[in-house]
Structure 1
Amino acid sequence: MEKGTFKGLEAFILENQHLKAVILPDFGGKIASFYDKKAEYEWFYQAKVEQLPMPHYGSAFGEYTPGGFDDCFPAVDEGPHPINNRKVPDHGEVWSMVWEVDEKLENGITLEVKSPVFPYELKKTITLLEDGLEVRYRVVNTGEAPFAYIWSPSILLNMNEHTQIEVPEECDEIISTEPDNEHLGDWGARHPFPITQSKESKEEIDLSKMATKESQSIEKFYFSKRLNNGWCRAVQHDLKKALYYSFDPDKIPFLSVFKNQGGWLGDYNFSLQPSTGMYDDVYVANKIDRVAKIPPEDENIWIFRITVEDTE
């Protein structure tokens, strides 16, 4: 591991003969870049700026040049937390906070952060593997009541007309969570996956593929069923490569997809988002029992891996 800078911020760089990852402790512990040397391809979407502005606690996520891998915790949507009704900021707290470096490893780094508002401490160890990244999480409930949370990795990926989403076979129906969408309709509308019919044009559309940037559209949907298999893939057919996410479905049982097809900030990117809860709002998720919980003065541990694969 080496120290360096990335778009004006202090960075820790993990590198081997195949891959290079850049981590920004001061910017929410973000993994800002994941570069595939063999393919000469940057997997993580990069905002077109030379200097990254530093967020502050409670910043609006969209105002801070989204890109790379941010942790959403203890929720995704802004709103009250069921433990004390205090507001969880947009995309959670931790993406906009400074993480402390706890331990430097030969091929990794351990970072930690403590909430100023809620009773938890979150630690993660990022390790560069021969063919990918492994992130081990440990969250401790320091309070005297069960603590509900949603964790989800907001990883904005590059995409083009060759990009395709692959998911387990149980992911055969989606629930739209956008308020009004040309093809998917209102929040809560259900569609078969991957092939469905547009609500407006009635044309057949493939939800596993991407619309053009010119469509200026946004899609966000959850798969309606809990996962039996903990994986999903972003396939780049033009590279003959895929980015494979793997995790324990007993701990991370939900999966959502966000597609920004020119409709948000004029960017063109997407995100596969395994999640410990459903519908992004931790208050709602707690009400419908679609949320992870930590017993008082206890901890939860989970592992999330990203692997670069050849598809041919």
Structure 2
Amino acid sequence: MTNWTRSEIEGREAWTGDSGLLSVTVVPELGAKAVSLLNRRTGREWLWRSGKPLGGKGFGTPFGESDESGWDEMFPGINACAYPEAPWQGEAVPDHGEVWSLPWQAETDADGLICAVEGKRFPYALEKRYSFPAPDTVRIDYAVTSRADAPFSFLWAAHPLMRASAGMRLRVPDGLDAVEVSYSAGARLGAFGDVRPWPEAAPGVDLSVVEPDAGRHAEKYYFTGKLKEGWAELDDPRTGEAATFRFPAERVPYLAVWANYGGYGGHYHVAVEPATGRMDDLARAMNRGEAATVAPGERYAWHLELSVR
């Protein structure tokens, strides 16, 4: 039986679900972001906090002007761009999308915590439901419902900033052997769109191993092509602990990684980012047939599970 309790964090309503082994804390007012993911058995807090006060400067502002902490949802885009097709052609998609900077409604029922938000510039409703299918696992069921009279294309990606520790390892399904660069501080991996081998992307650069906080490197990349298996794992060989992400590859066919070793904002964290589209720019993804689409009045659903050990 999972208990959900209401509290306040920095003056804002927060909800904490506790399975006895794993707890998650969500702040609905701040994009329904998770600010804590705690393995209660080991005491390990998986989510990174920047040290800034929670919150930001409001809708449509750059993500870097917010607290940047925890686990946000990026939807319906990632990089700031203009929607490329009618009837919303030219409408601005904000940095990291709309929903991270909007307040969500939240309520509990017998099955978990339900959070919901309406789009501001685009006609959709996005909902997510937190539950605990097992004591070591939190599950988030997502659904976007179209309010439009035309097909609506979108990018969604989870953005769980995890506390990094040098030597942690990233495990992914067999057969993934190349990545496409979205961002690379100092162009260590090259420019946007460059393709590099996985995991040895360059001499002395093993992308599967978390690097020390050297203050120089930060990279965002996507594995090339669609996934056949929907999972990835971040594990710590020093302690035997791990966080494993599982998701349906037929609904969430792409996987990205954000690894910041001090090269962006001086922060030190890593994010495993299952995604419904590729390469952060919604217009580019639509042009390449790598964005998800919801039909008028229809619903597009998916889920993500995270297990700890």
TM-score (norm 1): 0.93
| Structure 1, unaligned runs of 5 or more | 198-202
* In structure 1, distance between residues paired with 2:201 and 2:81: 32
Structure 1 window deviating more from structure 2 (286-295 vs 61-70): it is 61-70
Query: Equivalences for 1:1-312 in 2 at 5 Å?
Result: 1-49=4-52, 51-83=53-85, 84=88, 85-101=90-106, 103-106=107-110, 108-129=112-133, 130-178=135-183, 181-197=186-202, 203-309=203-309
Greater shift in the superposed pair: 228-237 or 182-191: 182-191
> Percent same amino acid at aligned positions?
28
| Residue 108 of structure 1, CA deviation | 2.0
Does structure 1 retain, via aligned residues, the 8 Å contact 2:179–2:198? yes
Equivalent-residue separation in structure 1 for 2:121 and 2:201 (angstroms): 43
**Alpha carbons 2:56, 2:67 under 8 Å: kept:** no
Q: Take 1:53 and 1:297, find their aligned partners in 2: how far apart are those partners? A: 32
Secondary structure of 2:283's counterpart equals helix
User: Which shows bigger deviation, 288-297 or 57-66?
Assistant: 57-66
Distance in 2, matches of 1:275 and 1:190, equals 18
Q: What is the aligned residue count? A: 302
SS of 2:245's equivalent in the other structure is strand
8 Å Cα contact 2:47/2:163 also seen in 1: yes
Runs of 4+ in 1 over 6 A off after TM superposition: none
In 2, Cα distance between the equivalents of 1:179 and 1:36?
32
Q: CA deviation at 1:215?
A: 4.0
**1-side partners of 2:193 and 2:304: how far apart?**
28
What amino acid maps onto 2:131 in structure 1? T
Of stretches 103-112 and 23-32 in structure 1, the one that deviates more from structure 2 is 103-112
Determine if contact 1:25/1:98 at 8 Å carries over to the other structure.
Answer: yes
Q: 1:248 and 1:82 mapped to 2: Cα distance?
A: 28
Amino acid at match of 2:218: I
